[in-house]
């Protein structure tokens, strides 16, 4: 058996990268061929897939890691629930049907997505010799950058809808503050956050969003 093939089979990072490349290449080609609406119905499954890959490539998952993953996921879900109930956190918005099953009018996958984004952002800064607050601030900025490309795609495909169709700057500020607080906790208490798949997942998803934005002629900033 060729060495490269053996490496792919035996190394979880390599076959995770291969799976990631195949899934998102199929997605990009589908969007370019005009099948974006059909493809986006699979978004909840895609988020579960990306989440599984991130957890699969995490190094030394222990009880503290699992505990904080659950804390961030539940906190993210509750923040979103408060957000749609009050309009005071992100602005006035509500969830559509594009993200699957809901609880309290919030898609269940949202909490998972918060946890994955926080842990992926934390993994990116894990090797930086920076104080915790600076790592957390930078990681939060990465998450806001991600959200900038996500927002127009989310609105177009009925993930969520903003009042008057306008995405308020309050949304991005709230994303940064909430992400910063969550990252402070993770960076302070989770020992080993190393994850070599964090950068590929965030970059691949961002590229996919950009392709959709260009193909669908979406507006990034209102």
For residue 221, tell me if it sits in a domain.
Answer: no
Supply the DSSP symbol for 160.
E
Give the whole-angstrom CA distance, residue 22 versus residue 180. 32
Residue 212 domain-assigned (yes or no): no
pLDDT score of 61: 85
Predicted local distance difference test score (pLDDT) of residue 5: 53
**pLDDT (0 to 100) of residue 18:** 87
Is residue 216 a part of any domain in this protein? no
What's the pLDDT score for residue 193?
84
**222 belongs to a structural domain:** no
- In the prediction, which pLDDT does 33 show? 92
Whole-number pLDDT of residue 60: 80
- Bridge partners (DSSP) listed for residue 95: 160
Residue 214 lies in a domain: no
| pLDDT score recorded for residue 10 | 57
Does the residue 220 lie in any domain?
no
Compute mean pLDDT per 10 residues along the chain, 222 residues long, and list them.
55 84 91 90 88 86 91 96 94 91 92 93 90 95 94 92 89 96 95 87 92 90 70
How many Cα neighbours within 13 Å face the side chain of 20?
Answer: 27
Which pairs from 166-170 meet CB under 8 Å and 24+ separation?
Answer: 166/222, 167/91, 167/221, 167/222, 168/90, 168/91, 170/90, 170/91
The verdict on residue 218 lying in a domain is no
pLDDT at 6: 57
Domain that holds residue 195: 3-206
User: Could you give the number of structural domains in the chain?
Assistant: 1
User: Buried (b) or exposed (e) across 118-155, using 16+ Cβ within 10 A?
Assistant: bbbbbbbbbeeeeeeeebbbbbbebbbebbbbbbbbbb
Asked if residue 81 belongs to a domain, the reply is: yes
């Amino acid at each position: 058996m060729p060495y490269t093939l053996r490496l792919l089979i035996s190394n979880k990072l390599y076959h995770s990268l291969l799976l990631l490349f195949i899934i998102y290449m199929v997605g990009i080609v589908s969007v370019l061929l005009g099948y974006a609406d059909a493809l986006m119905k699979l978004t909840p499954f895609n988020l579960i897939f990306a989440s599984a890959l991130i957890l699969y490539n995490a190094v030394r998952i222990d009880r503290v890691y699992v505990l904080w993953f659950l804390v961030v996921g539940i906190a993210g879900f509750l923040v979103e629930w408060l957000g749609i109930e009050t309009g005071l956190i992100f602005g006035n918005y509500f969830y559509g049907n594009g993200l699957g099953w809901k609880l309290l009018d919030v898609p269940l996958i949202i909490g998972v997505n918060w946890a994955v984004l926080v842990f992926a952002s934390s993994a990116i800064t894990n090797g930086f010799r920076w104080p915790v607050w600076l790592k957390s601030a930078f990681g939060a900025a990465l998450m806001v950058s991600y959200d900038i490309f996500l927002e127009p795609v989310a609105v177009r495909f009925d993930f969520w809808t903003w009042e008057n169709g306008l995405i308020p700057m309050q949304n991005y500020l709230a994303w940064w503050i909430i992400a910063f607080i969550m990252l402070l906790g993770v960076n302070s208490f989770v020992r080993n956050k190393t994850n070599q798949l964090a950068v590929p997942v965030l970059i691949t998803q961002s590229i996919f969003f950009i392709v959709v934005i260009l193909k669908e002629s979406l507006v990034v900033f209102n």
